[in-house]
Structure 1
Amino acid sequence: MIKNIVLSCLFVVCSFVSFAQDSLLKSGPMVGYSDFREALIWVQTTQPAVVRIGYFTTGENEKFTNSVQTTLEGDLIAKLTPSDVEYGKTYTYKLYINDVYVARDYKLEFQTQTLWQFRTDPPDFKIALGSCSFINETKDDRPKPYGGKYQIFNSILAKNPDLMLWVGDNMYLRTPDFMTDRGIRHRYRHTRATPELQALLGSVHHYATWDDHDFGPNDADRSYVNKRITEKTFNDYWGNLNTNAAGNGGVTQHFSWNDIEFFMLDDRYHRAPNRDPNQDKAYLGKQQLDWLVDALTKSRATFKIIINGGQVVSDVAKFENYITYPTERAELFKRLHDAKIEGVIFISGDRHHTEISRLERKDAYPLIDITCSPLTAGTHSARDEGNTLQVKNKTFYNRNFGIIEVSGKRRDRVLLLNIYDSDGNKAFDYEIKAKDLRYPRK
């Protein structure tokens, strides 16, 4: 009898301790980058706490990361790197706060990169993509709610992607947020804690760039006085492999996944104002443009995917499309052609609808831009904006996301884009073959 009472008391105490630690979790865990020898896991607590991750594969004993103390000065964020790993494996992981296991009711997994080079064909894999994610907060929002259908995050997870590309406007700074570090971090913190988002964060590797709304005010440019604050906040809240790749500030990045290289651009930090009448005004800026062309020239990836917040290929000379910065856009296209860079595909967001743009070129393969938007932000009705490069019947005007399936042998890789609505119903697909993104052989 006494033994049963003691066991019952222990159970109650353990349950209370576990619940207490669960209350210390603000958001995450989120899986960031994946590499061969480590991955990154991001966690945010509600108050200062000690965080660590346990991880294992089937048949292995649990291993642990170093413990990280979250602090108010660090926005209560912990970044942990499981590093006792092997190539090409999937690991289950557990979250511990103050040395107490904090269970989640969804899977927590990360994977390491596969060492296929000089050995096999590259593995098949899936990439999720989306942009424009608005999470409502009544006291700060416009009178009519702008965000909705948050179930889209569960629909993305149901497609089992390996990684997700966040293409910009991944959250929306509001009027009370723009001018202080406290305001900017409030918005990032509020968006990241969205309940419907947590399961997606926990087992898919996430990479992000920004556009105007997660950089600053609407249509923000290099004049935004707090751009260094938002740069720091962005880097704190995402787990990208690198940042500031061009070396002059901003969130430009580069990473690989199997046989694809990704070039995530920053279309805000160095951008001249939209209203600047100078035709030669900067969009990416010379240093970032030079870095991009150099990195593309060096790359031997099957597909070279360039991710940019705004549309690159569309020929609609309004909104914030690249063509409204005509000299720099023309220079990029010319340098791609002059250097005979093969395999380039653009991915963009911003426009609150999804479309494919295709620019045919003389003596060169076509330049294709996959615009995928929005995730949860507002939409507009179907309309002809004047993009003469739009691919017929490859448009969608409701909330949506994309899944890219990459498959095939090394020299015959195929990229299949599928666009789905918020509930995971297919809207359309579009196939791109690697062999069709090569220059004619003489």
Structure 2
Amino acid sequence: MKKVVKYLLIALVIFSCKNNNNVEVKNNAPIENDLVIAFGSCNRQTFENKLWKPVLENSPIAWVWGGDVIYSDTDDMELMSQHYQQQREQEGYSEIVNSMKILGTWDDHDYGLNDGGLEYVAKAESQQLFLDFMGVSKTDPRREREGVYHAEVIKTDRGSVKVIILDTRYFRSALTPSDNPEKRYQPNPYGEGTMLGDAQWQWLEQELKTSKADFNLIVSSIQFLSSEHGFETWGTMPHEFDRLKALISDSKAKGVIVLSGDRHISEFSKTAIGGVDYPLIDFTSSGMTHSYSSFDGEPNQYREGRVVSDLSFGLLKINFDTRKVIMQMRGENNVLQQELIQTY
């Protein structure tokens, strides 16, 4: 009974501050004193999502969308609005919205153009629909500026986590088609193109360098470390890849972890990064309603463990006392698919 009361108190605190930039949890988080955050991507609104119940079973404080909230490759805003409404009505999703903080970014299919970037003609209108879906106030700064990038701090009695949400669509310049017929893109010439645009880069630098949080989660809709597969990735702009690595190092921000989506597979990627005493992990969680079930392998020099190609969502269980993060991929019926534990 005490546990039930405890969970209800936590839910009430979260719900009361859902639209604030700083989310404060007054009571200890459930599950072995961990703060739990769940995330995922690639959710087709017309398909059954079998993962909402397992997500709830893990009692997360927040749900983070990693992109492709809906599939709506169109510049018809009335149609896109209907697609968002279908997602609102997706079985199980209303319980998610009423139980935890909702954060997140978009990717190409909810942006409105497959593999789209700055050239998408309806991006300003699409942004407003996305912010509507996310429940963003009409007076929020995101309503007046270009792009959906955003940051919030989740505070507990023991520590804090900053969630830094990137927009890898609105400002992203052209990619280079691959000369290899088995790949879609190849890296741009070094220095050519931007992933985030000047304003977002300046904002990101400020968010990282001034962060006092114990952990910092950077949400990127596309993969950061894995780049050999030939699809969209930060590796298509190697100078931008180097810039973000350098910024993470120079900022001295604590416990930086990248969360990514897009690929319809889930995997851990990990590399050493100069200037900090912990490795950089890119936790890709993708494929909530449909996954790359026929996946038969691809190179990734940074991969830790194996690729999960079943339906999947991601969990981070953060312990402030031990500075340990348990990262899990979970699937239907809450089955644990793979786990990575890192101390920061």
Same fold (TM over 0.5): yes
Equivalent runs, 1:184-223 vs 2, <5 Å: 184-223=80-119
SS of the residue corresponding to residue 135 of structure 1 reads: coil
Q: Structure 2: which amino acid aligns with 1:110?
A: F
Cα deviation for residue 115 of structure 1 reads 5.5
Write out per-residue CA displacement over residues 169-196 of structure 1, whole angstroms, 9 at most, x where no aligned residue.
Answer: 011104xxx1222111111111221123
Are the counterparts in 1 of residues 265 and 291 from structure 2 also a CA contact under 8 Å? Answer: no
SS of the residue corresponding to residue 290 of structure 1 reads: helix
Identity %: 27
SS of the residue corresponding to residue 203 of structure 2 reads: helix
Equivalent residue number for residue 285 of structure 1: 197
SS of the residue corresponding to residue 91 of structure 1 reads: helix
Are the counterparts in 2 of residues 166 and 209 from structure 1 also a CA contact under 8 Å? Answer: yes
Are the counterparts in 2 of residues 377 and 399 from structure 1 also a CA contact under 8 Å? Answer: yes
SS of the residue corresponding to residue 64 of structure 2 reads: strand
- RMSD of aligned residue pairs (Cα, Å): 2.5
Write out per-residue CA displacement over residues 385-420 of structure 1, whole angstroms, 9 at most, x where no aligned residue.
Answer: 211111133x311001122111242xx322111211
Whole-angstrom distance in 2 between the partners of 1:224 and 1:230:
10
Cα deviation for residue 300 of structure 1 reads 1.6
Q: Structure 1: which amino acid aligns with 2:152?
A: F
Equivalent residue number for residue 101 of structure 1: none
Q: Evaluate the alpha carbon distance shift between residue 245 and residue 290 of structure 1 in structure 2; reply closer, same or farther with a 3 A threshold.
A: farther
Equivalent runs, 1:204-353 vs 2, <5 Å: 204-240=100-136, 248-258=145-155, 259-275=160-176, 277-279=188-190, 280-316=192-228, 318-353=230-265
SS of the residue corresponding to residue 128 of structure 2 reads: helix
Rg larger in structure: 1
Q: Evaluate the alpha carbon distance shift between residue 243 and residue 399 of structure 1 in structure 2; reply closer, same or farther with a 3 A threshold.
A: farther
Cα deviation for residue 339 of structure 1 reads 3.7
Give the alignment's TM-score, normalised by structure 2.
0.82
Whole-angstrom distance in 2 between the partners of 1:361 and 1:238:
33
SS of the residue corresponding to residue 94 of structure 2 reads: helix
Cα deviation for residue 199 of structure 1 reads 2.2
Whole-angstrom distance in 2 between the partners of 1:272 and 1:90:
41
Q: Is 1:110 the counterpart of 2:20 in the alignment?
A: no
SS of the residue corresponding to residue 82 of structure 2 reads: helix
Cα deviation for residue 198 of structure 1 reads 2.5
Cα deviation for residue 204 of structure 1 reads 2.0
Write out per-residue CA displacement over residues 274-318 of structure 1, whole angstroms, 9 at most, x where no aligned residue.
Answer: 238554201112221121122101112111110010001223262
Whole-angstrom distance in 2 between the partners of 1:311 and 1:90:
31
SS of the residue corresponding to residue 92 of structure 2 reads: helix
Q: Tell me, which stretches of 5 or more residues in structure 2 are unaligned?
A: 18-23, 28-32, 178-187
Are the counterparts in 1 of residues 326 and 342 from structure 2 also a CA contact under 8 Å? Answer: yes
Q: Structure 1: which amino acid aligns with 2:12?
A: Y
Q: Evaluate the alpha carbon distance shift between residue 363 and residue 235 of structure 1 in structure 2; reply closer, same or farther with a 3 A threshold.
A: closer
Q: Evaluate the alpha carbon distance shift between residue 327 and residue 189 of structure 1 in structure 2; reply closer, same or farther with a 3 A threshold.
A: same
Are the counterparts in 1 of residues 257 and 280 from structure 2 also a CA contact under 8 Å? Answer: yes
SS of the residue corresponding to residue 55 of structure 2 reads: helix
Are the counterparts in 2 of residues 127 and 404 from structure 1 also a CA contact under 8 Å? Answer: yes
Aligned length: 309
Q: Choose between structure 1 and 2 for higher RCO, CA contacts under 8 A separated by at least 6 residues.
A: 2
Q: Structure 1: which amino acid aligns with 2:272?
A: E
Equivalent residue number for residue 74 of structure 1: none
Q: Show structure 1 runs of 4+ deviating over 4 A.
A: 240-248
Are the counterparts in 1 of residues 268 and 281 from structure 2 also a CA contact under 8 Å? Answer: yes
Equivalent residue number for residue 282 of structure 2: 369
SS of the residue corresponding to residue 315 of structure 1 reads: coil
Structure in which a larger fraction of residues adopt strand? 1
Whole-angstrom distance in 2 between the partners of 1:313 and 1:431:
18
Whole-angstrom distance in 1 between the partners of 2:103 and 2:333:
23
Q: Structure 1: which amino acid aligns with 2:163?
A: F
Write out per-residue CA displacement over residues 295-354 of structure 1, whole angstroms, 9 at most, x where no aligned residue.
Answer: 101112111110010001223262000010111111221232234333211000001000
Are the counterparts in 2 of residues 417 and 430 from structure 1 also a CA contact under 8 Å? Answer: yes
Whole-angstrom distance in 1 between the partners of 2:125 and 2:87:
17
SS of the residue corresponding to residue 110 of structure 1 reads: helix
Give the alignment's TM-score, normalised by structure 1.
0.65
Match of 1:164 among 58, 63, 69: 63
Are the counterparts in 2 of residues 315 and 389 from structure 1 also a CA contact under 8 Å? Answer: no
Q: Structure 2: which amino acid aligns with 1:420?
A: R
Are the counterparts in 2 of residues 179 and 226 from structure 1 also a CA contact under 8 Å? Answer: yes
Equivalent residue number for residue 293 of structure 2: 380
Match of 2:53 among 154, 177, 195: 154
Write out per-residue CA displacement over residues 33-66 of structure 1, whole angstroms, 9 at most, x where no aligned residue.
Answer: xxxxxxxxxxxxxxxxxxxxxxxxx8xxxxxxxx
Cα deviation for residue 206 of structure 1 reads 1.1
Q: Evaluate the alpha carbon distance shift between residue 337 and residue 243 of structure 1 in structure 2; reply closer, same or farther with a 3 A threshold.
A: farther
Q: Is 1:359 the counterpart of 2:271 in the alignment?
A: yes
